[in-house]
Amino acid sequence: MGEPAKRPKQKNPVLRTRLPTLPPAPRSRVALGLTAAAARGRLELQVCLDCGAVQYPPREVCRACLSHRLIWRPQDGRGELIAETTLRNAQELFFRERLPWRVGNVRLDAGVNVIAYVHENVGAAPCRVRVEAALDRASQAVLVAVPDQGRTLMSDDPKLREMTCDPRSRKILVTDGKSALGQAIVRALSAAGADLIWIGEAEPWKKVPGFEALRALPQAAIVPLDVTDGRSVRELAGEIGGKVDIVVNTGDYHRTFTIASRRGVETAQLEMDVNYFGLLRLAQEFAPVLQARAADGAANAIAWVNLLSIFALANYPSHGTYSASKAAALSLSQALRAELRPAGVRVINLFPGPIDDDWDQLEQPPKLSPTAVAHVVIEALKGSVEDVYPGDVAQDWLARHLENPKALERELSGNAP
């Protein structure tokens, strides 16, 4: 196991601000298939439908039979590290600042050779390894060779830790600590070794079970934050924005209404005000300071996590206006990701299925507990992903959406009253 990250001393404000450097980002359109899978934490390679040959690197036609019928399929990544080297010189600024780099040639059991970063826990070649797909600081797919047996975290390797958003020793803002999910995430971040957790509190007069217990956590600091109030967001950003390493946006307003079941637009406006405009207010105030601190070494700003919903992927008519607000938030989070990517700050979107809370009471199991979702948040930060779909329902919806989005739309409309 690697040593826990030690938070460095506060930087000298007189020194010049370091600008972030990123690894080379251009990829061909076909190569982005590897990135799409890595963003979900999966290793996928192209497979020829005609001869079955696995392809690497990504290509337009099969290397064996020249067929153009190539599809992406999951791979287990197991193989043998047959050769390795340590790079001590580099032309790219990103790598030059981080030398030496250990890389190796892995012969996958699937029949192709790949070049991968080699985790420090991997023994000398030749040896058995497992190749995983991850996202680098430019949010493009890279391959990492880890030991074949057991579970190895990238954050255990000081070189690879930078590709993760590990919450250890980080200062983190959780925007709403009053929901059951927000409280579970705060407790999970505390257990994961966060240095300081600011916990947003709106409507302090409203007492909710479990919130007061958060004050007893050694890293916790309750702060006033109402994402529906631009002044509240602006004042908090002015106070702590320059210190935040990770923003976890747990703001969520959820009501189960179809379009025709309630007159007026007040409920839909509240959903949009929290789920969409709340995210927009946070992004306008906190994103610029995250960008400015993206190159602060081990104390840099590193991630933004959004709690969305699988209902953002396709509208669920019995939660019609809520689905629409989450779809709007998804679109906005993609814009936020595009703006933060040049600084190397990762935007992670969570798409959980129904959560066992007040507003999903009538949904049939399986449902996720807040604690289970909080665990997924920690795993996402410790890993190297952008999009996470926790739970059986979310995984099923995602598979159907990728296969035939129109069929998913029609199937969901069958649940409408």
Q: What are the residue ranges spanned by the domains of the chain?
A: 32-60+69-163, 171-413
Contact 279, 251 (CB under 8 A): yes
CB atoms within 10 A of CB 174: 28
**Cis ω on the peptide bond leading into residue 126 (within 30° of 0)?**
yes
* Of residues 382, 387, 321, 396, the one with CA closest to residue 354: 396
pLDDT at position 12 is: 56
Tell me the CA distances in angstroms from 42 to 35, 143, 310, one per residue in order. 9, 11, 19
Cα–Cα distance between 241 and 243 in angstroms, integer?
5
* Of residues 412, 287, 285, 309, the one with CA closest to residue 360: 309
pLDDT at position 9 is: 54
pLDDT at position 255 is: 83
| Residue 368 identity (one-letter amino acid) | L
CB neighbour list of residue 307: distance below 8 Å, 6 or more residues apart: 181, 248, 249, 250, 251, 252, 350, 352
pLDDT at position 10 is: 58
Contact 350, 306 (CB under 8 A): yes
pLDDT at position 263 is: 79
Contact 133, 78 (CB under 8 A): no
Cα–Cα distance between 200 and 177 in angstroms, integer?
6
Q: What is the signed CA dihedral for 44, 46, 48, 54, rounded to 10 degrees?
A: -80
Contact 388, 312 (CB under 8 A): no
Tokens at 384, concatenated: 């190297």
Is residue 173 classed as helix, strand or coil in its secondary structure? Answer: strand
pLDDT at position 1 is: 43
In the sheet that holds 196-201, the strands lie side by side as 220-224, 196-201, 171-174, 246-249, 303-307, 346-350, 387-388
Tokens at 403, concatenated: 């296969």
Cα–Cα distance between 144 and 134 in angstroms, integer?
7
- Does domain 171-413 match CATH 3.40.50.720? yes
Cα–Cα distance between 106 and 76 in angstroms, integer?
13
pLDDT at position 415 is: 52
Kindly give the parts of the chain with pLDDT less than 50. 1-5, 8, 416-417
Q: What is the pLDDT of residues 106-137, one digit of tens each?
A: 999 999 999 999 999 999 999 999 999 999 99
Question: Which residue is it, tokens 């795993």?
Answer: 379
Question: What's the DSSP call for residue 323?
Answer: H
Tell me the CA distances in angstroms from 152 to 109, 120, 122, one per residue in order. 20, 10, 10
pLDDT at position 155 is: 82
pLDDT at position 417 is: 42
H or E stretch at 233: helix 230-240
Give this prediction's pTM.
Answer: 0.90
For 169: left if phi > 0, alpha if psi spans -120 to 50, otherwise beta; the answer is left
pLDDT at position 416 is: 45
* Of residues 185, 137, 179, 175, the one with CA closest to residue 283: 175
Angle separating helix axes 180-191 and 370-382, nearest 10 degrees: 40
Contact 295, 20 (CB under 8 A): yes
Distance of CA 372 to the CA centre of its chain: 16
